[in-house]
Structure formats: structure tokens, C-alpha cells
Amino acid sequence: MLDIHTKFKRQAEILGLALMRDGSLSKTELEKYFGVEELTIKRDLENLRASGIDIHTTKGVVEIQGTINQESLKSILIQYLGMCYSYNSYDKPSELMVRKLKDKALTNVVVIQRCIEENRKVLMTYEKESGTEKTEREICPLQMFQSENYWRVLAIHDGIIKQFLLNKIVDIRPLESGFKPVPKEELDELFANSWRSWVGNEKFEVKLLLSEKWTKKVKPRQVMEKQEIIDRKDGWSEFKITVNSLDEIAGWVVSRGNGVKVIEPEILKQKVIDIASGTLGNYK
């Protein structure tokens, strides 16, 4: 692991340990735990303070004053998980992309990321669904993300926000022309209503009825950023969420079988019936 990664990983872990121990973590323990000198831990604490975290050593004890805002926590968590995931786990989306595109995979990612940061347009040659036809498309890349075993790029194309699979980009070239960036808050909102993957910026208010069995399974989880579970006297519950795709949630309802029922909207109820009927039709 690169030294810069080792340094950030250690600092994130110091923060996590300090939060867990709540005033009972000594600087000496950290030195032994990470196998580093006192000066290294001192620099780590200085770096954390420079990033806006009020962490200090008082009489040899590492303490965090006040609370850490959610944006800082999210940023640290994303970087830490990304680092651990890339080094220690099987990353199927990346594996599939490299297998298909080879060195072009790295080129795609680097060019897109640079253009995201510089708000520059990209000209790409993209494979159509058939896999044989290719077309040139000019896009304004906004964000790369993983979903359903693929790396994807969220981009503006012909004035509409769409997603493209990175392993279908055959050729890519940064353009000189720029574009107006989409505010981070708007991007976050787009993903907030994604059930499994980002499929559009529509919003559907969904209300499901969960049996006692499914209530116990869903209740402890934070399935969506915004969700509401209302208990009923009979042991069932109402599960309210906002999603951007009725097809995805319909597939989820059908896969759960008995005990998950659509209350509204009516169009979702019909989608569930159609999927279930079609599946049963395969076995007649």
C-alpha cells in the first residue's frame, strides 16, 4: 500500500478508535497499536485537526471535543472504505471492465474523472445494446459510480441526465469546451431515491404493507435515506418510501413473496401482478 494511503488509513483508524473509546485512549496505546513513533501520532493528530476535527491530547489521553459534522464523517468513511475495498476485496465491476477493455479501462476512468473535476465535455465512442453498432456521443460527465456489477458514469447528454456503462466506452477524448456543473446537493438528491441503481430522476411515492415477519427484517435496516415505517396493531406495518423506478421496486416485491403487498400507487400494484403472472406462466 502506498505511504499516503497508509497515512490516511491510520488517521481514519485513530479517529474511529478515539470515538469508540470516548476519552480512554492513550497516545502510547496508539504508538504500540500502529508500530510508529510518538512524532508520527502527533503529526496524525495535527492533520486531523487541520481537516476540521477537534482532536487533542490531554495528559497523554486522546480526546475529541464536540461533534464531527456528517459531511466530514461521510468523506472519511468513503475514502477509508474505498481504500480497504480496493486492496482487500474482489471488485467485480473493475474486474469485468479490465477484462473487456484492458488498458483502455484505465484511460476511460482517468479521462472521465479529470473532465468531471475540470467541468469539461467528453467525446466518446459508445457501444449500443447490440454490441456491434457504435455511436459517437458528446457528454458532460458528472459522477462515476458502481451499480449492479458495472462501473457507470452519470452524465448530461442532449440536455438529459443519463447513465452510461464504462465498459461500453470503446474510445474517449476530452474536449476543450466546458459545461456548467450540477451542484453536489442535486447529485445527492438524484441518488437518494435510488432503490438499487440510478435509473432516472423521477419520483414515485410508494406505500407497502409488510407482514410481521418482513417488518422484523426491514425495520432494523436503513433501506433508503428517507423511509418511514408505521406499526399496526395486527403486527403488520406500513412501509413508506420514495423511489425513482417502479420497475425495480416491483421486482423486489415479487422476489419477497408472501408478506409484502403494494398499497399504492396502483400502477406499481399492476406491475407486480404482471411480473408474478409472467413468472408463473413459465411453469404452466
Largest CA distance in the chain: 76
Say if domain 93-182 classifies as CATH 3.30.1360.120.
no
Three-state DSSP at 225 gives coil
The C-alpha cell 481504500 sits at 83
227-231 and 169-178: which strand pairing? unpaired
Cα separation, 260 vs 245, in Å, equals 18
Distance from C-alpha of 102 to C-alpha of 114, rounded to nearest angstrom: 20
Task: Write the DSSP string, 248-278.
Answer: HHHHHHHHH-TTEEEEE-HHHHHHHHHHHHH
C-alpha cell at 175: 474536449
C-alpha dist (Å) from residue 38 to 19, 21, 96, 164, 272: 20, 19, 44, 48, 61
Long-range contacts of 51-59 (CB under 8 A, 24+ apart): 53/15, 55/15, 55/18, 57/27
3-state SS, residue 245: coil
Span(s) in the chain for CATH 1.10.10.10: 3-87
* CB burial of residue 279 (10 Å; 0-12, 13-18, 19+): exposed
Per-residue pLDDT of the chain (284 residues; tens, 9 = 90+): 457 778 888 999 999 998 888 778 999 999 999 999 999 999 999 999 998 899 999 888 999 988 888 888 888 888 888 777 665 567 788 888 999 999 889 999 999 999 999 999 999 999 987 667 789 999 999 999 888 888 999 999 999 989 999 999 999 999 999 999 999 888 888 788 887 776 677 889 999 999 999 999 988 888 887 889 999 999 999 999 999 889 889 999 999 989 999 999 999 999 999 999 999 888 87
Top-tier CATH class for 3-87: mainly alpha
**Where does CATH 2.30.30.520 sit in the chain?**
93-182
**Torsion over CA of 236, 240, 243 and 247, rounded to 10 degrees?**
30
Q: What is this structure's pTM?
A: 0.68
